[in-house]
Structure 1
């Protein structure tokens, strides 16, 4: 993590993301701008929450660690999503791992300052309640889609989340982790990758997925995992 000391850039992000709708001005006086490069962890499970974050540029993935050492991919977040809601309210250790999947900027407020001085501010409390309810809705919604849509649609939606201006995707998660997230088996996932290759939509080489037909990939994705959190 790198703290960006450019106050003009910090104010630009605060204005662009309308952080005045979340925090009162006396809270924003404590704001810091942090930068996390791609593949760096922003939050780690079981550690204390040092900063309450709002993503102002970039994209992250949320994973829940299991006792067997594996993890389940839960969600992708991008701009205007917050990190640390539950941990801040309950004053508990961080529940999930949060990793940048592209270069990411976040506005952070020290969590101890929020807890000591600002937890009774109506604007901020409303934001916490609204954010938690949206995340709960999105989690329930995505779980229902895993039961409703065929795997080919769910897989395409997953791949669309990783699209950039390049013609390929580098998968950071193992195929077993992807299968867990999509609610399927490793074998079924592998067959579905092969089906997309046979349709000339993608081409796989180990963990690199080359996008041959982005339009058809997006059509199949149905924006399944892009709900109200975006």
Structure 2
């Protein structure tokens, strides 16, 4: 993680996403830019929450982990998204893990400044209310899809989500993923996932080689996914 105090760049992001009005004049001086490299964790489930992050560039992956160590993917997000909003409102530790899928840039502000200068500022409160209610609607839908849709659909969606990101030209269609981790993330067994990958290879949708999975037919995967259930 890199922290940058670049007010000009912050202003550009605020203007681009039309969110400058949600921060009052007292909060603006405390906004900072945070960048994360691909694969870096922005926050970890159970860690103390201290910052509110507004995602302004890149793609993130959100997942939860059970006490037994099993993980389940909840969603992938691109701008505009907020990390730490539920935790701020409820005063709790981070409830999920958030990982950078591509290079990520966020605007961050410490909770203490929000509590000092933003707790009664209605534009900010309305913004967070909109984000939180939308987030829980999507989470409910995502969990339902994990229960209702077959592994073929979930894997196709997962591959589409992690292999391409319009906001970052460095992303490409070649992935280096752990099959075991992928199985946990989409909620299936390692053996079953291997069968589906072999099926996808046979249908020339993907190519598996030396631990890499190459997406060969995005349209074919999109047809299987129907719509991208993790986004």
**TM-score under structure 1 normalisation?**
0.88
Match of 1:168 in 2: 174
Indicate how the Cα distance of structure 1 residues 207 and 96 shifts in structure 2: closer, same or farther if over 3 A, else same.
farther
Distance 1:68 1:142 in 2: 21
Indicate how the Cα distance of structure 1 residues 215 and 142 shifts in structure 2: closer, same or farther if over 3 A, else same.
same
Distance 2:63 2:148 in 1: 22
Match of 1:95 in 2: 95
Match of 1:15 in 2: 15
Q: Is the 8 A contact 1:49 1:84 kept in 2?
A: yes
RMSD across aligned C-alpha pairs, in angstroms?
2.0
Among residues 213, 218, 226, which one is paired with 2:217 in the alignment? Answer: 213
1:81-136: CA deviations, max 9, x gaps? 00001110111122222211111000011111112331122111112222111111
Indicate how the Cα distance of structure 1 residues 208 and 16 shifts in structure 2: closer, same or farther if over 3 A, else same.
same
Distance 2:139 2:211 in 1: 26
Q: Is the 8 A contact 2:161 2:228 kept in 1?
A: no
In structure 1, list runs of 5 or more residues that go unmatched. Answer: none
Q: Is the 8 A contact 1:73 1:178 kept in 2?
A: no
Say which SS state the counterpart of residue 76 (structure 2) adopts.
strand
Say which SS state the counterpart of residue 106 (structure 2) adopts.
strand
In structure 2, list runs of 5 or more residues that go unmatched. Answer: 165-170
Distance 1:167 1:75 in 2: 19
Match of 1:137 in 2: 137
Q: How many residue pairs are counted as aligned between the two chains?
A: 225
Q: Structure 1 residue 43: deviation in Å?
A: 1.1
Distance 2:149 2:44 in 1: 32
Distance 1:103 1:123 in 2: 29
Indicate how the Cα distance of structure 1 residues 79 and 92 shifts in structure 2: closer, same or farther if over 3 A, else same.
same
Q: Structure 1 residue 213: deviation in Å?
A: 1.5
Distance 2:208 2:131 in 1: 37
Pair 1:204 & 2:208 matched: yes
Q: Structure 1 residue 226: deviation in Å?
A: 5.2
Alignment of structure 1 residues 172-187 onto 2, 5 Å = 174-187=178-191
Q: Is the 8 A contact 1:54 1:83 kept in 2?
A: yes
Alignment of structure 1 residues 3-152 onto 2, 5 Å = 3-152=3-152
1:48-80: CA deviations, max 9, x gaps? 222100000011112223323443322212211
Distance 1:179 1:144 in 2: 17
